[in-house]
Chains A and B, each alone.
Chain A
Amino acid sequence: MQYMALIYSAEGASDVDEQTLMAQYGTFTQDAVAAGVFKAGDALQPIATASAVRVKAGKPVVTDGPFAETKEVLGGYYLLDCANLDEALAWAAKIPTARYGTIEVRPIIVWDN
């Protein structure tokens, strides 16, 4: 099964300096690739760069930023191919941000045709 690990944290909340964090993410990604679990993964630009779009009365309305003030924001994701939820959760727990943020693990819908 494929699982999306969505990485949430308060911006700037890291428990180590940025260089160390990047190195830790590098190690995690390498491990996931080596185990054949890694399908995709990216980091997102800070929330200040976000735009929101909704269609109102047939016209797209673009606004600045996210929809609600939330403490933890989506900062990146991994797409992981795992045998089951336990395996996905074990990988998610190794994502460095899990130490100071939250990793939401969601299975990907597989369309039959």
Chain B
Amino acid sequence: MIRAHYGRVLAALIAWLRDFDLAEEALATALLRAVETWPRRGQPDNPPAWLLSVARRAALDRLRQSKVRAAPLARATLAMLAEEAEDMPNADTPIPDERLRLIFTCCHPALAPEAQIALTLKTLCGLSVGEIARAFLVQETTMAARITRAKAKIAGAGIPFSLPEAADIAARRDQVLAVVYLIYTAAHSAYEGDTPTRTDLAHEALHLAELLFALRPEPEVEGLLALLYLHESRRCARSTESGALVSLRDQDRGLWDARLIAKGRAHLAHALGQRHPGAYQIQAAISALHAEAASFAATDWAQIAGLYRALEGLAPSPVVTLNRAAAIAFGGDAGAALEMLAPLQAALASYQPFYATRAEIHAQLGAHAAAKQDYRRAINLSSNSAEQSWLAAQLARLP
């Protein structure tokens, strides 16, 4: 319950204090106070305003006590903040929503990509350093150092806590969307151990996409939201209880979440209606075609291949071309698909799905020896045991 307010209250505190650490410290104090007093006295009418007000007082106390921060600059800030604190929000004041500014700051392109992801999860979602470290399979100390460096750069390099200028906003928004999408994909594809355990990250990514859409209701933002709903609709079908990966072809479509599919399709239809197509809307449209198909074989592969071609036009990449080739192969033209793959090999030489896809195409064409060789390469390139056992099962099926 309390965590639901975390990002919003923290964003308001950072907007006020311009100091990530001080804001986090103050919010931690306020949360502790809440845990102590709410069960006894009952929850306040406006919990986020209560938290903000307590945290602001805690921050001011901390500033007054701290000798380190009492540099001339900080003293001036303190005087100003103390004055502002006179009109602290009471229980009735709605607190300003500064989360959009916060997410643009956390996803600033001057920060390292992995720091953008970590900082977003820490500040907007309120995940602990330990939780983020476990999700990305790095040591807690490594993750803590990464976050500390990023915060130091924000302060030291003068990364602003503001929305980008109009000229930059589209590129910077795409950066934010990419971070949210990466958080989601980390949740369902990058796990290494024996079972997929990162459902939390998927929820955080969905929550961020919903938040972004509420704050900036633009077609591409809605496209990403639709894409995540549609991906998420297949979660239960994507792996067995023991953690084995189930490919799209073999998934029990009865396990797909109809409510999430409906939400995804509704958002997609609305986004496409704005007539500003973009990469996320196209990917969501592809996902929606899968959702509509009664079976893998009955999928509208021609339309999917066409959508991948549109995606190549907007954001060309060898991976997109690989996906188009796969759609063409599933649509029945394995020969044409194989020809498309040849020029991609150099760029995708160490990309596991390249070999897995080509193996399938070889198998379709009856070239079993070539298919086996590619499955073996794919297995060697995979670091994920669920994925490896799926590939091994495909290999074993070949005559």
- Residues of B with C-beta under 8 A to A83: 158, 160
Interface segment among A18-26, A38-46, A85-93: the answer is: A85-93
A86 to B108 CA separation, bound complex (whole angstroms): 9
A84 to B158 CA separation, bound complex (whole angstroms): 5
Q: Is A17 an interface residue (CB 8 A)?
A: no
- Residues of B with C-beta under 8 A to A1: 158
A79 to B73 CA separation, bound complex (whole angstroms): 23
User: What's the nearest-Cβ distance from chain B to residue A40, in Å?
Assistant: 18
Interface secondary structure of B, over-half rule: loop
Is B73 touching A107 in the complex (CB atoms < 8 A)?
no
Q: Of residues 107 to 163 in B, which have CB atoms within 8 Å of A's CB atoms?
A: 108, 110, 156-160, 162
Q: Is B87 an interface residue (CB 8 A)?
A: no
> Interface 1/0s, chain A 71-97, versus B by CB < 8 A?
000000000001111101110000000
Is B110 touching A85 in the complex (CB atoms < 8 A)?
yes
Q: Is B342 an interface residue (CB 8 A)?
A: no
Given A85-B110, A112-B72, A112-B73, A90 and B158 contact (CB-CB distance below 8 Å): no
Q: Of residues 1 to 16 in A, which have CB atoms within 8 Å of B's CB atoms?
A: 1, 3
- Residues of A with C-beta under 8 A to B110: 85, 89
CB nearest neighbor in B for A107: B157
- Residues of B with C-beta under 8 A to A84: 158-160, 162
- Residues of A with C-beta under 8 A to B157: 85, 107
Q: Of residues 62 to 89 in B, which have CB atoms within 8 Å of A's CB atoms?
A: 71-73
CB nearest neighbor in B for A88: B158
Q: Is B92 an interface residue (CB 8 A)?
A: no
Q: Is B165 an interface residue (CB 8 A)?
A: yes
Q: Is B241 an interface residue (CB 8 A)?
A: no
CB nearest neighbor in B for A86: B160
Is A85 touching B160 in the complex (CB atoms < 8 A)?
yes
A2 to B2 CA separation, bound complex (whole angstroms): 40
User: What's the nearest-Cβ distance from chain A to residue B158, in Å?
Assistant: 5
Is B158 touching A112 in the complex (CB atoms < 8 A)?
no
User: What's the nearest-Cβ distance from chain A to residue B357, in Å?
Assistant: 37
> Interface 1/0s, chain B 97-109, versus A by CB < 8 A?
0000000000010
Given A1-B158, A107-B156, A107-B158, A86 and B73 contact (CB-CB distance below 8 Å): no
> What 3 A-B pairs are tightest by C-beta distance, nearest first?
A84-B160, A84-B158, A1-B158
- Residues of B with C-beta under 8 A to A89: 110
Which of B71, B72, B156, B165 contacts A86, CB < 8 Å? B165
CB nearest neighbor in A for B71: A112
- Residues of A with C-beta under 8 A to B162: 84, 86
> Interface 1/0s, chain B 157-201, versus A by CB < 8 A?
111101011011000000000000000000000000000000000
A1 to B164 CA separation, bound complex (whole angstroms): 18
- Residues of B with C-beta under 8 A to A3: 158
CB nearest neighbor in A for B110: A85
CB nearest neighbor in A for B72: A112
A86 to B165 CA separation, bound complex (whole angstroms): 8
A83 to B161 CA separation, bound complex (whole angstroms): 12
- Residues of A with C-beta under 8 A to B160: 83-86
A24 to B218 CA separation, bound complex (whole angstroms): 38
CB nearest neighbor in A for B164: A86
- Residues of B with C-beta under 8 A to A86: 159-160, 162, 164-165, 168
Is A85 touching B158 in the complex (CB atoms < 8 A)?
yes
Supply 6 further A-B pairs (C-beta < 8 A) apart from A84-B158, A86-B162, A86-B165: A83-B158, A83-B160, A85-B110, A86-B159, A86-B168, A112-B73
A83 to B165 CA separation, bound complex (whole angstroms): 13
> Interface 1/0s, chain A 51-65, versus B by CB < 8 A?
000000000000000
- Residues of A with C-beta under 8 A to B72: 112
A90 to B160 CA separation, bound complex (whole angstroms): 13
A85 to B165 CA separation, bound complex (whole angstroms): 12
- Residues of A with C-beta under 8 A to B73: 112
Given A84-B159, A85-B160, A90 and B165 contact (CB-CB distance below 8 Å): yes
CB nearest neighbor in B for A109: B156
A43 to B168 CA separation, bound complex (whole angstroms): 29
A112 to B70 CA separation, bound complex (whole angstroms): 12
- Residues of B with C-beta under 8 A to A85: 108, 110, 157-160
A88 to B165 CA separation, bound complex (whole angstroms): 12
